[in-house]
Amino acid sequence: MNHGEQYYYKIIELSKKHGFELIFITTPFSKEYYINCNNKESWDNDKIRIARDAEENDFKYYNFEKIYTQDNSHHKLFRDSDHLNSLGRIKFRDHLYSVVGYNSSNSQ
């Protein structure tokens, strides 16, 4: 097990021990990112593991990876193939807030 995996499981352990809610997400990316991904099998296996761990631990998992790929103008939301630009970040933030029930007007 590598350090990333160790930290991943440690975070799950700590969240259960201290009673805080853990939310897993898969962030949006462009069509090109997936096409050019060198290790799709590992990536798919990670998503399967995250979904399994979320279910087993009663955590939420939101997969946003394809929310923009259906939009023909999605390229306007990305700085490069896997990083959102300012407009994309705002659009994703607002989408994420609505999904997790966060009201930005109530926070400081």
Q: What is the pTM of this model?
A: 0.77
89: tokens are 């970040």
Nearest Cα to 99, choosing from 7, 24, 14, 17?
Answer: 24
Tens of pLDDT, residues 55-84: 999 999 998 888 877 777 777 888 887 889
Domain positions in the chain? 24-106
pLDDT at residue 36, rounded to an integer: 82
Mean pLDDT of the chain: 86
Comparing 106 with 46, which gets the higher pLDDT? Answer: 46
H helix intervals, the chain:
3-18, 31-36, 40-56, 86-100
